[in-house]
Amino acid sequence: SWSALDSPLVGRSASVLQRMDHRSVSSVTIPPPACMLRPLEVPMRYLFGPGPSNVPPRVLASGSRPIIGHLHPEMYEIMNDIKKGIQYAFQTENNMTISMSGSGHAAMECAVFNVVEPGESVLVAVNGIWGERVAEIAERMGANVHTMVKAPGGYYTKEEIEQAIEKHKPVLFFLTHGESSAGLCHPVDGIGDICRKHNCLFLVDTVASLGAAPIFMDKQKIDILYTGSQKALNAPPGTAPISFNDRACYKMFNRKTKPISYLFDMTHLSNYWGCDGNTVRAYHHTGPVSGFFALRESLAILAEKGLEESWRKHKEVSAYLYKGLEDLGLKLFIPDRDLRLPSVTTIAIPEGYDWREMLGYIMKHHQMEMTGGLGPSIGMVMRIGLMGYNCEKTNADKALHALADALKNCKKSKA
């Protein structure tokens, strides 16, 4: 029987209503942002601060290679290469050697989260921002944190360290090798022996020093060592090599509680990196494929150049920079030349000058980044970084010219 619903007019009306209803459901109320309709623009700058540093064309090109799957056999091969490159850079034979998918802070947290359990004692040497940061990380995860504190640029004797370890009986002692906030390269020899004597793990941060100053993980009995990709290694920020020796692994894999982070759990990461002896690598997270390409290439450049040559070059160029700074009448913040970090040089803020004005002038007129202090060293220093690809006397000359220009043209107070 015929119904009014069968009318062609009614049918067309229903179709129109359906289309209108579809539009109302799918329509957007936020328009495309104007900024996203413009091409990406990035200025060319001299990155002469504490990092990231300028990246060599070869490393930039490696990061633009076609993406492959993060679980493809070819990716595992690249990860195996990275592992061997890190072992060379760290001077270690540790099997448990990987790169974190994240910046140096990821490695910092991974180290603390995996070897420390809530309530355990941790001792942190603080002489700049990185000790402060590790102390906070350990405190947040429930450790019983003890700190040794000195002003930026201060360093610890082995006697001071042993006394503190005897007093606090920590499961972990942290020291920054390259304290970039102060420009200090801390002596490491003999500290590993003290830690072993007192059954304490030795954790060292080399984010600002790896490739620029000598470090020997195995010989110096360092239990956990980490670094970042963006300093003397000259890869883009975002990957962080880390290595654990057998002592650290024993503590890490015999925990009573699970680490507080799933992403940084070495039970899973050791499998992802093929370090746990299993033939099958299970999915844990999606690693930064392009970042790993770039890290592999930066480690290859270091291997081709050789560690000794890299250390020699950083020492030579930093000495050249020191003389130029002193010729300008500037005062180096670390008086003892042997304690200066070759990759990041700190100068005392010149008397009568506003350091922010000077750095702003240098950026505006020279397209050059230098920075002020960080954490406890803010207002105390200006920092000049010449590392890896940037570690050349010609770049030191550019930095010195920019500083001389700023000293001439920035206001100086009469006081």
Is 383 annotated in some ligand binding site?
A: yes
Is beta strand 381-385 parallel, antiparallel or unpaired with respect to 371-372? antiparallel
Neighbouring CB atoms inside 10 A of 90's CB total: 25
- 405 in helix, strand or coil? helix
**How is 107-148 classified by DSSP, letter by letter?**
HHHHHHHHH--TT-EEEEEESSHHHHHHHHHHHHTT-EEEEE
Residue length, the chain? Answer: 415
Instruction: Count other Cβ atoms within 10 Å, centred on residue 32.
Output: 8
Q: Where are the beta strands (DSSP E) in 152-220?
A: 172-176, 178-179, 184-185, 201-205
The tokens for 394 are: 């010609």
User: Can you say whether the dihedral through the CA atoms of 409, 411, 414, 415 is positive or negative?
Assistant: negative
Give the closest residue to 295 by CA, choosing from 214, 343, 241.
241
Dihedral Cα 271, 274, 276, 280, nearest 10 deg: 70
Q: What is the 3-state secondary structure (H, E, C) of 40-73?
A: CCCCCCEECCCCCCCCCHHHHHHHCCCCCCCCCH
Residues 6+ apart with CB under 8 A from 75: 68, 69, 287, 289, 292
- Crossing angle, helix 307-327 and helix 289-305, to 10 degrees? 90
Q: Are 229 and 80 in contact (CB under 8 A)?
A: no
Query: Where is the binding site, in residues?
Result: 383
Enumerate the known binding-site residues for substrate. 383
